[in-house]
Amino acid sequence: MCGRKRQAIKAVWGLTVVFCFMGWLLPGMSSMAAEPQGEVGEQEITVLLAGDAIITQRWSHRKEPEFMRLVEAIRGVDAAIVNLEMLIHDFKGYAQANSGGTYMAARPVIAQELVWAGFDMCGNANNHTFDYGSIGVLETVENVTKAGMLIAGAGKDLQTARAPVYFDSGKGKVGLVSCTSSFTAYGKASRSRPDIHGRPGLNPLTMTSETTNTITAATAEKLQKFAQEENMAGVSLRGNRFRFLGTNYVIGERDGAVRSSRLDQKDVEGNLASISQAEKEAELVLLSLHAHSQGAAIQEFCHRAIDAGADAVYLHGPHAVRGIEIYKGKPIMYSLGDFVFQNEQIEKLPVEFYDTYGLGDDAKPIDAQNARSANGTRGFPAQRGPWEGVLARLRFEGETVKEIELLPVDMGFGKPVLVRGFPLYANAELGKKIIGDIQQQSRQYGVEVEYVEGENVGKVVIK
């Protein structure tokens, strides 16, 4: 537990002081007490990363061995980090006209439950950060902080939301930057000026999509000839650009359309600056990125994040596991999947959610959830991916990752609505399947992932 970690650290520090003092008093012991132990930055630090935590129910009373195995793994590392895809509040804020899907809400006690499990830090930049507006953002930050967990990615203004947070693990300082490329436009925090405060919100990595119409040179030639024969205006071919009937085309290998994405460069540079700042102040730096859609632009940003000083990058948002890349010796985990998935057990939902499914004021949240999923036959309840994930346990020596273990998590695909979503350590059959999914998707990056039969874990082969 987080508190136990701190108590242990204090105990070790106290014993160190006592033994050093004894060494000063007793001949022959001073050299033993003063023996150099190496620089802090060269010490071994273990970090655990968990994917999306959409948690609404208390769990500190649960004692299932499969659950406690996960808890022991979380408590057993020097720093544990989770993506909090949840708002922790008492409904003081106002539900926005649109949300990230479900309007997220969990009472403040849930933050304490995460701390009980052993989490030290969380990222909170995601598509639900602004479900309850600025007040919901500020409530969440306050409640998480009061519970004793550090929170990154959301705050009173852009400077705060984008700033790294630091956890002193006792073996070195761990820095965390949290951002998202998936969000409602009005949910991003704004920068404070000297004369006016900014807007509370999330730390954005704004991504826009572009569609490029392509046409072959042969097709362009035919259309141009047709236009000349029919005396049509507004048709031109200049270099590799072709314009026909008000539509612009690029000469390419085939006729069709190519969809691409690009990132806002101010957001890119701002987040890279935060990572660089964290690299100066912490022994380890982690980037937590919430990205539903991924591709070349996101991969390039992850590479640049490592170049800027991140020691590991982990993504979440697809609600399914993805592959792992090793870039310059540093891991990029493109999705660990979900860790807790209790989005169907929200206490209250605003009128917009009910209106979507034609329900009146007499309906309850469970009625709306069942209407959305057609009683579990469509959407996330009908897909296996959202109910499977992994915890990633990383062992660093200094800034070098020496070991990555993947612990498979089962959230109860196919179970009743009020039961599914709770995390348990997966059994051997499902564990092998989950690790196999990551194994298959990691091959495109030239990364090998092994499944260890007796331990029911995955291990990334680090070359």
The pLDDT of residue 19 is: 35
The pLDDT of residue 256 is: 82
DSSP labels for 142-171?
HHHHHHT-EEESEESSHHHHHS-EEEE-SS
Mean pLDDT within 405-411: 99
Average pLDDT of the chain, as a whole number: 90
CATH of domain 40-205+264-343+383-460: 3.60.21.10
Residue 84 has, within 13 A of its CA and on its CB side, a CA count of: 35
d(CA 320, CA 438): 10
**pLDDT per residue as tens digits for the range 258-276:** 777 899 999 999 999 999 9
DSSP state of 383: -
- φ/ψ of residue 196, rounded to 5: -160, 140
Name the nearest CA neighbour of 124 among 201, 208, 47, 55.
201
Q: pLDDT class for 287, splitting at 50, 70, 90?
A: very high
Q: Give residue limits of the domains in the chain.
A: 2-33, 40-205+264-343+383-460, 207-259
**pLDDT per residue as tens digits for the range 104-154:** 999 999 999 999 999 999 999 999 999 999 999 999 999 999 999 999 999
Residue 169, pLDDT > 80, answer: yes
Mean pLDDT within 17-34: 35
The pLDDT of residue 211 is: 78
Residue 15, pLDDT > 70, answer: no
**pLDDT per residue as tens digits for the range 419-458:** 999 999 999 999 999 999 999 999 999 999 999 999 999 9
Whether 61 contacts 103, CB under 8 Å: no
d(CA 9, CA 199): 38
The pLDDT of residue 14 is: 44
d(CA 198, CA 249): 41
Q: pLDDT class for 30, splitting at 50, 70, 90?
A: very low
The structure's pTM equals 0.84
Q: pLDDT class for 40, splitting at 50, 70, 90?
A: very low
- φ/ψ of residue 202, rounded to 5: -100, 165
Name the nearest CA neighbour of 244 among 259, 224, 218.
224
The pLDDT of residue 235 is: 82
**pLDDT per residue as tens digits for the range 184-240:** 999 999 999 999 999 999 999 999 877 778 889 888 888 888 888 878 777 888 888
Name the nearest CA neighbour of 290 among 206, 178, 155.
178
Residue 202 β-bridge partners: 154, 188
